[in-house]
């Protein structure tokens, strides 16, 4: 298991063992956000895996729920439908933006750059694309495919939800939805790309770049890596 990085403001870095029940995780995350807003808890970066499920963001369209083969959870994050399941690293961030610049756009950009930097350590070139949410790379067939998703919520300037990165999930599980409302492109994973990296390797890469991610939240945004 990767060592917890040294993060500014004594932020807790927590890696959850096993598969975390989604409802329990959501309740814990919301309680933590409330406590942070009240000055009663530390900020937290929480790395989890869930059993198979779909979540609906605030912009979800029911037509994009093709086959509800797994439980569907309504959630307050931005975005549309997405999938979570074993083999996918989900990172929940309870970060106090009230003391870090109050810039939600900068926060989202920092998460994008964090994902891209971690994937680069594992040999995957990734980028953002104008007009399409998430982090993208070339799939095995050479076409662009999503490898990382981002969806956040901010309440009393404390962030909830965060990002997900596909390590080795069952990609067929995405067939029940139109991921993030984008039907023209597929999804991929490290395993799909033939990268041998496992969850611990991804966690180590995320840990290595976590201090830079937090620094980016508080400084002028950098230009996001993008391709058209």
Based on C-alpha coordinates, what's the Rg of the chain?
16
Does the pLDDT value for residue 222 go beyond 80? no
Beta strands in the chain (DSSP E): 12-15, 44-48, 53-56, 72-74, 81-84, 88-94, 127-129, 132-138, 144-155, 158-166, 186-187
What are the residues whose beta carbons fall under 8 Å from the beta carbon of 7, sequence distance 6 or more?
13, 45, 210, 211, 214
pLDDT classification of 226: cutoffs 50, 70, 90: low
Q: Over the stretch 150-209, which tens digit does the pLDDT of each residue have? A: 999 999 999 999 999 999 999 999 999 988 777 778 999 999 999 988 999 999 999 999
The yes-or-no answer on residue 180 being catalytic is yes
Q: Over the stretch 17-67, which tens digit does the pLDDT of each residue have? A: 999 999 999 999 999 999 999 999 999 999 999 999 999 989 899 999 999
Ranges 8-12, 56-60, 81-85, 216-220, most confident:
81-85
Does the pLDDT value for residue 221 go beyond 80? no
On whether the CB atoms of residues 141 and 188 are closer than 8 A, the answer is: no
**1-7 average pLDDT score:** 71
Domains of the chain: 8-217 (3.30.930.10)
Q: What is the pTM of this model?
A: 0.93
Does the pLDDT value for residue 103 go beyond 60? yes
Please tell me which residue in 91, 147, 160, 180 is annotated as part of the active site.
180
């Amino acid at each position: 298991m990767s060592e917890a990085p040294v993060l500014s403001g004594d932020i807790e870095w927590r890696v959850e063992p096993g598969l975390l029940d989604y409802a329990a995780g959501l309740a814990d995350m919301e309680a933590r956000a409330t406590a942070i807003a009240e000055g009663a808890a530390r900020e937290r970066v929480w790395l989890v895996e869930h059993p198979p499920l779909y979540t609906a963001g605030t912009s979800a369209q029911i037509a994009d729920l093709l086959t509800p083969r797994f439980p569907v959870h309504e959630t307050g994050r931005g975005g549309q439908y997405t999938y979570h399941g074993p083999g996918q690293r989900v990172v929940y961030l309870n970060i106090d933006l009230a003391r870090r610049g109050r810039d939600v756009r900068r926060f989202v950009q920092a998460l994008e750059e964090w994902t891209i930097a971690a994937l680069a350590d594992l040999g995957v070139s990734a980028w953002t694309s104008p007009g399409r949410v998430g982090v993208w790379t070339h799939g095995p067939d050479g076409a662009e495919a999503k490898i990382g998703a981002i969806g956040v919520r901010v309440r009393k300037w404390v962030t909830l939800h965060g990002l997900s990165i596909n390590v080795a999930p069952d990609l067929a599980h995405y067939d029940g939805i139109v991921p993030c409302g984008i039907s023209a492109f597929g999804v991929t994973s490290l395993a799909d790309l033939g990268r041998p990296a496992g969850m611990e390797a991804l966690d180590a890469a995320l840990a290595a770049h976590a201090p830079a991610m937090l620094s980016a939240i508080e400084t002028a945004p950098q230009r996001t890596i993008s391709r058209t």
